[in-house]
Amino acid sequence: MLLQKAKGLTKKTKITYLIIIMAITIIAVAFLFKAKLDETNTSSARAPINTEEAHHHHDHEEENHDHTINAAAAPAKTNIIRIGSQGVESEVEKWTLPVFKSYVNDTFKTLPNLKDARGLKDEEVHQNPKLVMDAGLRLGSIKKQIKLNSEFEEEGMKFYDKCALKKDGLTPVRALCLANLVYMKNQKGEDFELEKYPEKVKDLAQKALELSF
Amino acid sequence: MKLTKLTAVLIALSLSAGAMAAKHDVNIKFSKGISKKQRKFMDRDLEVLEKLEFFRDADQETLKVMGLQKLNSKTATTWLEQRVAFVIEETDWKKIEKKISIEEKFFSFENQNVEPTIERPTSAPTGEGVVVMSNLGAALYYAGKSSRSLFSYPIKTGLFKKEKVKFSSPRAGLIMIGEGHFMDRFDHDQDNKDAKANSFGRLSTFFHEARHSDGAGKNLGFFHAVCPDGHDFQGYNACDRNLNGPYAVGAQMTKEFLKNCDDCDDVVKEKMKVSYLASVDRIIIETKKPGSSDSFDVTTLEFSLEMKEMLLAFQSGAEKEAAMKEITELKAKILAISESEGTIEVTASQYIDASPEGERID
Ligand SMILES: [Zn+2]
């Protein structure tokens, strides 16, 4: 009706309005309503809570079943660690190394890729899509655990390197991984070659490094 | 008896109005149609902004992007107020059309004959979505301007109060919010719905949308540009070809919130960081265009490109997808040849004048 009111508009003009509406509208696609959350994919600082879940997806690395993971070792309530001037609020938030490794492996597998991104609906892309935010959540959990356990550093840096080099990964996620890696290498005073990372990832990582770590 | 009932209803109404009273003085009006839950979150967000200390100095970049001398709760809320006057509930586009009135025909618009730059997406499937937020004011201003008519839209802001927005400027400031804006899944802090960090996330979106209320002439509404080839969202209408558009505003505000959120934990901060980087990544720093070339290779490729682009209008589904992929590859090839020939034209993006055309009228 509006378009009728605006008499004399061509079909092309109408299409133009639609493009404008799309170009200024942030829309999340309806599938967000569907589906139970897959806890391991979406929860915040939650570690996998049982052995089966932790090892289900991989038949590799973790051959040693002494690394049994149970709910006590990897408490489900890991989501309120706050590291402030008072230090760590709760020791119980710490994961074990196998849990951390498993989480890091799962995270690498679930990192969003270009194919996922380019399959999104136009409207979903206006705002940061959920798949980017989910990756941020996982990177957050990894970072939190590295801060809590210095023995996770090596494993963490390996992950950051793989993530930053992930060719089909999304640039902001790769950049944040690279920034974390650069920060950790600097803290350790280790030399570090940046040549192997693409320019666009390095440029954005540079922006990330302006933020506090 | 009837009178007693009526009195009780009136008392109940006045009490509920009291309970709903916002704890902030930000001058943005809300439609009565917005659900109590959504209104509560929006009021909370504005309260967070109004009370935020901004105890760390703002980046020079933030000031430049926002056009501010300094950033504090006062300047930030004023910035928002200048660009957002009304917030309405998600409304079907057909309903919106029905409610629009023409206030004045042959209205005199500034830059009447200047068309804004509108880039058409070359990729991206469209689909049914849940609205997060939309700057309707900018779109309706443009629609009115195109038909040389001053449009208006009625908004119920109180039990017995109706107001009217007149679209005499992109600064009319009519924002529509939808369920998506409040979804848990977009929260920075998923453990505490009321966390400040969640307000920060929604506020950044609000600031992004508010920027669409700016600009004049060809920059009217700061409409988005098509992301270049090689970008994560290549072909989508989801980038800015300037340095101070909605994505830059959203990014810088996220950065300032992050700097001033001492009680955000590491998970939340990392999520805010990725959100910041994802917005920064939408800012196109430079645009590369193949210059004019006499080379046989370029001419042939350009001809082929033109043909494929023409055929797109008649294609759909997998066929269209394949054709779009070929187009992207062709463009990349032409660009690569131009680069090697030294004929490529590189244009650096600029900070553009954000002053709006027209002005708000009551
Ligand atoms: Zn926008």
- Chain A segment 3-62 residues within 8 A of B by beta carbon are 3, 5-9, 13, 16-17, 19-30, 32-33, 42-45
Residues B134-162: pLDDT tens digits? 999 999 999 999 999 999 999 999 989 99
Which CA distances in Å does B209 have to B84, B139, B140, B232, B302? 9, 12, 14, 22, 37
Nearest chain B alpha carbon to A140? B267
CB contact under 8 A, B266 and A147: yes
Residues B251-266: pLDDT tens digits? 999 999 999 998 899 9
Structural tokens at position A118: 């380019």
CA angle B210–B200–B280, rounded 5-degree value: 65
Which pLDDT score, from 0 to 100, does residue A26 have?
A: 59
Residues B52-73: pLDDT tens digits? 999 999 999 999 999 999 999 9
State how far the Cα of B330 lies from the Cα of B300, in Å rounded to an integer.
10
The yes-or-no verdict on residue A39 having pLDDT over 60 is: no
With contacts defined as CB-CB under 8 Å, which chain A residues touch B270? Answer: 136-137, 139-140, 143, 176
CA of B215 to the centre of ligand 1 (A): 13
Nearest chain A alpha carbon to B59? A210
Mean pLDDT, residues B71-98 = 96
Of B136, B176, B208, B273, which to mutate for an interface test with A (greatest number of A Cβ within 10 Å)? B273
The yes-or-no verdict on residue B4 having pLDDT over 90 is: no
Residue pair A191/B268 in contact (Cβ under 8 Å)? The answer is no
Confidence (pTM): 0.81
State how far the Cα of B172 lies from the Cα of A153, in Å rounded to an integer.
52
Mean pLDDT, residues A45-56 = 38
Beta strands in A96-167 (DSSP E): none
Through-space distance between the first and last CA atoms of chain B, rounded to whole angstroms = 43
CB contact under 8 A, B233 and A125: yes
With contacts defined as CB-CB under 8 Å, which chain B residues touch A19? Answer: 118, 120-121, 237
Distance from the A26 Cα atom to the nearest Cα atom in chain B, whole angstroms: 5
Interchain CB contacts (distance < 8 Å): A and B: 233
- Chain A segment 151-170 residues within 8 A of B by beta carbon are 170
Which pLDDT score, from 0 to 100, does residue B95 have?
A: 94
Residue pair A141/A40 in contact (Cβ under 8 Å)? The answer is no
The structure tokens 């380019």 sit at A118
Question: Which of A44, A45, A211 lies at the smallest CB-CB distance from B273?
Answer: A211
Nearest to B71 by CA among B41, B49, B86: B49
